Chain A
Amino acid sequence: MVLAVTLCLIWIVVNLFIILPKRLSREENLFLFLTCSITIMISLLIPAKRMYFGDHGFNYSVEGTIAFLFNRNVIFPVLTLISINLVQDKGLWKKSLTFAASFLVFILFCKLEEKHTIVTSISTLILSVYFICYYILMLFLLKVFQLLGLKRQSGDE
Chain B
Amino acid sequence: MPKDTAFNSNELFILISGIIAYVIIFLLPKRFTRQQTVTMLLIGIFISAFFDNTVCINPFNYYSVNDTPFVDFWDMLSFVMFGPFAYLFVYFYTGIGKNRSTYFFYISVWALISMFAEALAWHVGVYHYKNGYQLFFSLPIYLIVLTVTMVYYHIFIRR
Contact = CB atoms under 8 A, between A and B. Distances in A.
A49 B35 contact: no
Contacts of B155: 26
A140 interface: no
Interface residues of B, number: 28
A149 B57 CA distance: 37
B45 interface: yes
Contacts of B70: 45, 49, 52-53
Nearest to A37: B46
A45 B56 CA distance: 12
Nearest to A148: B34
B39 A53 contact: no
A65 B55 CA distance: 11
Interface in B93-150: none
A133 interface: no
Given A30-B156, A42-B49, A52 B38 contact: no
Nearest to B76: A42
Contact of B43 (A27, A34, A49, A65): A34
A35 B41 CA distance: 11
The interface size bin for chain A is 20 to 34
A12 interface: no
A69 B58 CA distance: 11
Question: Which DSSP category, helix, strand, loop or mixed, fits chain B's interface?
Answer: helix
Contacts of B69: 53
Interface string A28-43: 0011001101100110
A108 to B, nearest CB: 25
Contact of B42 (A34, A42, A149): A34
Nearest to B156: A27
Given A35-B42, A37-B50, A151 B58 contact: no
Interface in B51-71: 53-54, 56-61, 69-71
A11 interface: no
Given A34-B39, A149-B33, A51 B58 contact: yes
Contacts of A41: 49-50, 53
Contacts of B57: 51-53, 65
Contact of A62 (B53, B54, B59): B59
A38 B58 contact: no
Leading 4 A-B pairs by shortest Cβ distance: A34-B42, A52-B57, A148-B34, A34-B46
11 contacts: A27-B156, A34-B46, A38-B45, A41-B50, A45-B70, A52-B56, A52-B57, A53-B57, A54-B58, A65-B58, A148-B33
